[in-house]
Chains A and B, each alone.
Chain A
Amino acid sequence: MFQKILVPVDLTDGHQPALDIAARLAQGNDGEVTLLHVVEVIAEVWAADDREFYARFEQRARDHLARLGHALEARGVPRREEVVFGHRAPEIVRYAGEIGADLIVLTSHRIDLQHPSAGWGTVSYKVGILAQCPVLLVK
């Protein structure tokens, strides 16, 4: 059912619940987890022209993904790591289509019920609307 599982992450440590559930799903389906980090590009500083500017962001992301990847590997879950450049929501959706992901597992922030509209602009919310495959939002 879910064999190509995409887990987009930022560089914080708040993704363990999403990684746990992705690992469980992959184990249950002989699946593979692809860890993705999108380096958000600044409008006036394009990656192709300013490799040096973005290189340290990329390296930091690769180091972070490698750490997460090792934890998955220790659980016997096949995994890949990928760093791409762009704007997070559209890039996650594009990349999911490119690799034929059949599930995206995303960390979603808890919503303050006193201010429920605060969650409308988040990356997880946009991916939930735009993605062409099932999306699992984990809080």
Chain B
Amino acid sequence: MDIRRILAPTDFSEYSRDAIRYAHELAQTFGATLSLLHVVELPPYLGEFTPSTMGEDLLGDLERQAGAELAQVLPQAQEAATEVTRSVVTGSPSLKIVETAEAEHADLIVMATHGRTGLSHLMVGSVAERVVRTAPCPVLTIRPAAEKA
């Protein structure tokens, strides 16, 4: 089995940094491309009670902010030997991660078991748990370093 394309979703949390580090090291080991992904999750009130133009403005701001933040995830110096792509999409994180894995023909997804809330993402119904169950490819889940002791 070849690992040529690695997808690493990030929510910009401290927890996801470890996962990105693993993903990057694996990409270097296998000479794979690394695709960094952030999913902007729409607040549930958008679209229901907010005038559409206001919603579009807010969404645009969120996507631009996420794009800028994603550019900082892996400093340029570290990328030298690895082809890194970045994308920001909007929607349900677990669905978008799986959709992106399918569209990019990812051979591996690397993601943290915890997110911004600090709660385990492998709990039933969580993002990582849904990705693990529905992904079309292998999924490597990374636990926060503090928990490993």
Q: Which residues of A contact B (CB under 8 A)?
A: 1, 17, 20-21, 24-25, 28-29, 108, 111, 113, 116, 119-120, 125, 128-129, 131-139
Taking CB atoms, residues of chain A closer than 8 Å to B130 are: 116
On whether the beta carbons of A111 and B141 are closer than 8 Å, the reply is: no
Q: Does B17 contact A (CB under 8 A)?
A: no
On whether the beta carbons of B147 and A132 are closer than 8 Å, the reply is: yes
On whether the beta carbons of B148 and A132 are closer than 8 Å, the reply is: yes
Taking CB atoms, residues of chain A closer than 8 Å to B42 are: none
Interface-lining segment among B46-54, B72-80, B81-89, B131-139? B131-139
Alpha-carbon distance A29/B28, docked complex (angstroms): 11
**Option from A20, A125, A132, A133 in Cβ contact (under 8 Å) with B1:** A20
On whether the beta carbons of B138 and A139 are closer than 8 Å, the reply is: yes
A120 to chain B, nearest CB (A): 6
On whether the beta carbons of B143 and A133 are closer than 8 Å, the reply is: yes
Q: Which residues of B contact A (CB under 8 A)?
A: 1, 3, 22, 25-26, 29-30, 113, 120, 122-124, 130, 132-143, 147-148
On whether the beta carbons of A134 and B30 are closer than 8 Å, the reply is: no
Taking CB atoms, residues of chain A closer than 8 Å to B138 are: 17, 21, 136-139
A107 to chain B, nearest CB (A): 10
Known: A116-B133, A134-B140, A136-B138. A21 touches B1 (CB 8 A): yes
Known: A28-B29, A116-B133. A135 touches B1 (CB 8 A): no
Known: A24-B1, A128-B122, A129-B120. A137 touches B132 (CB 8 A): yes
**Option from A28, A119, A120, A132 in Cβ contact (under 8 Å) with B30:** A28
